[in-house]
Amino acid sequence: MTAKQPGAGVTRPGFGWAAPAAVFFLLFAIVPLLLVAVLSFTSWNGINEPKFNGLDNWTGLLHDPVMIESIGTTLLLTALGVAAQTPVSILLGVWAAGRQRNRAVLSAIYFVPLLLSATAVSVVWRAVLDPNFGVPSQLTWLFGDGNLLGTRSGAIGVLAFVGVWQFTPLHALIYQGGARAIPQVLYQAAAIDGAGRVRQFIHITLPQLRNTVITSTVLMVVGGLTTFDTVLILTQGGPGTDTTVSAYYMYQKAFKGFDFGAGSAIALVLVVVATLISLAVVRFTGYDRMRSTTEGL
């Protein structure tokens, strides 16, 4: 194809265009982040003046078994989320990008969980999972005594399930957009060559969705690392500390224990870990080279 791309030759917008956004970002993201960094070297209960205590908060975290456990739990939940959501949302998204009858109605129903607040979702699941009056009491062959939220494996399973249930629609939506952007000529050519739907999916759709997978995975990872509201309402970090994810531990330290120094240190750990993992995903998948999926078309 030799046709000139529309817009080619027009100069790129200057920095001026980004200035308003940059100012807001500086004011509401960078400045607070720096303040949190400073706070992490202080002892502050929110009442007295913050007192610098050097590395106390940091060495405290290093030797805090709950902190270490919380990072493990957070990573486990994130991994479960990515592993469960990616295949389901790709299939759902590609399906929703098609032209079947009733597609619009059905996808609208699939997207409902996305519209509900995480708080409402958690409250509803809490009621559904009540061991004595909810679903488990009716399906004792499956759930036993229904002690789902009272055991480590049960509670983590419930948290992962509720997260997947809630956020799969978002990722399906992203994949739907990605799938719609795949040039139809590819499918037409494949059909002429005699490729069936499954082969088309594996050899055209999946490779073409490469960049969408990365976008969606980064979102899932960041979302997984900052899981908070479902933990707050469903388990409050329990039983014991079994579901105390890092974001919830930060909240416990800062806003329940009024130890804002330690809370800030946990927040920074989260920022660093989330940034590193996102960078790794981008790097590992070659997204940083921004290879276009329409190259050569």
Partner 1 sequence: MTAACGSSGGASGGDSGTIHVLVYGDAANKVEKQLVETFNKTSPVKVVLDTVPGADYQQKLQTVINTPQAPDVFFNWGGGSIQPFVKADLLLPLDGFIAKEPGLKDNFLPSVFNSAVVDGKPYGVPMRGTQPVLLFHNKKVLADAGLTAPKTWDELVTDAKALKAKGITPIALGGGDKWPTLMWFEYLYDRVAGPGLFQQALNGDKAAWASEDSRKALATLKELIDAGAFGTNFDSVKFTDGGAPALVAKGKAAFELMGSWYYSTQQDANPDFAKSGLGYTGFPSVSGGKGDQADVVGNTNNFYSVLKKTKHPEAAAAFLKLMYSDEFVQAQLAIGNLPTTTNTVNFLDTAASPAYSKYQYDLVKAAPSFQLSWDQAYPPSAMTSIHTAVQQFFNGKTDADGFIKAMQALPTS
Residues making contact with partner 1 (CB under 8 A)? 45-48, 123, 126-127, 129-133, 145-151, 154, 235-241, 252, 255-259
CB of 257 to partner 1, least distance (A): 4
Distances (CA, A) of 8 to 3, 4, 15, 183, 251: 11, 7, 19, 21, 49
CB of 60 to partner 1, least distance (A): 12
CB of 146 to partner 1, least distance (A): 5
- Name the residue nearer to partner 1 (CB basis): 159 or 170: 159
- Name the residue nearer to partner 1 (CB basis): 10 or 47: 47
CB of 241 to partner 1, least distance (A): 6
- Name the residue nearer to partner 1 (CB basis): 177 or 239: 239
CA 132 centroid distance within chain: 32
CB of 152 to partner 1, least distance (A): 9
CB of 254 to partner 1, least distance (A): 10
- Name the residue nearer to partner 1 (CB basis): 171 or 253: 253
- Name the residue nearer to partner 1 (CB basis): 187 or 228: 228
- Name the residue nearer to partner 1 (CB basis): 113 or 131: 131
CB of 260 to partner 1, least distance (A): 10
The string of DSSP letters for the chain reads --PPPTTTTSPPP-GGGGHHHHHHHIIIIIHHHHHHHHHTTEE--SSS--EE-TTHHHHHHHT-HHHHHHHHHHHHHHHHHHHHHHHHHHHHHHHHTS--TTHHHHHHHHTHHHHS-HHHHHHHHHHHT-TTTSHHHH-HHHHTT--STTSHHHHHHHHHHHHHHHHHHHHHHHHHHHHHTS-HHHHHHHHHTT--HHHHIIIIIHHHTHHHHHHHHHHHHHHHHT--HHHHHHTTT-STTTT--HHHHHHIIIIIS--HHHHHHHHHHHHHHHHHHHHHHHHHHTGGGT--TTTT-
- Name the residue nearer to partner 1 (CB basis): 5 or 132: 132
For the chain, what is the radius of gyration of the CA atoms?
Answer: 23
